[in-house]
Amino acid sequence: MFDVMAGLHASIGILAALHHRDRTGTGQHVEVNLLSSALSGLVNHSSGYVAGGTVPFRMGNAHPSLFPYEPLPTADGELIVIAGNDGQFRKLCQVLDLPDLPDDPRFGRNQDRTAHREALRPILVERLARRTKDEWFRDLLAAGVPCAPINTIDGGVALAEELGLDPVVTVGDVPGVRNPITFSDTPARYELPPPGLDEHGEEIRAWLTS
């Protein structure tokens, strides 16, 4: 993951340097390292230590300062359920048929839910266990509550197709993952498949010696 993140940081840095060059005519050296990218990518964990001295500990997929914001079990598997603010938590409770839960002083505000997560979790788990993850996913999403089943890669591709993201592109006979960036005026083009061994070697050598 940090290899990918460092590559993205390098791309951003190169684009910024090109913009600076276009404005000033001066180029510059762009440098990226894996550790700095890792610390940047840890976001609230590294910032919490640097700004407040808090050293994070293992919490699985739970969020240190939001609850619920983690996978929770349903009748047939886990569903990631997110209540990023008090309004989303109230919507969650409406779908779960727990309309009075947000009025409980332990759960009304995010800081209270986070402090009392061990009391709140079993209440949510008991209610979620009554239906399947796909049933909850459909109803929670319709209510504006961020959530998603935990997918294998095939499930993730299927979900992207269902959402109309058209995730797979085939060039020649080789399928691949579509560029995730959409441009309104200059869309990505898929003209050539990955080359065979030395397929373009002659052209590349000619270019290098020209």
**pLDDT band for position 79 (cuts 50, 70, 90):** very high
| Identified catalytic residue from 3, 22, 97, 198 | 3
Treating both helix axes as pointing N-terminal to C-terminal, what angle do 86-95 and 133-142 enclose, rounded to 10 degrees?
Answer: 130
Q: Where do the domains of the chain lie, and which CATH numbers do they carry?
A: 2-52 (no CATH), 69-149 (3.30.1540.10)
Give the pLDDT confidence of 14-63 residue by residue, as tens digits.
999 999 999 999 999 999 999 999 999 999 889 989 999 999 888 889 99
CA 170 – CA 172 distance, rounded (Å): 6
pLDDT at residue number 127: 97
Let me know if 173 is a catalytic residue.
no
**pLDDT band for position 64 (cuts 50, 70, 90):** confident
**pLDDT band for position 195 (cuts 50, 70, 90):** confident
pLDDT at residue number 123: 97
Beta strands in the chain (DSSP E): 69-73, 78-82, 147-149, 168-171, 174-177
Query: Mean pLDDT, to the nearest integer, of 151-156?
Result: 92
Query: Mean pLDDT, to the nearest integer, of 128-141?
Result: 96
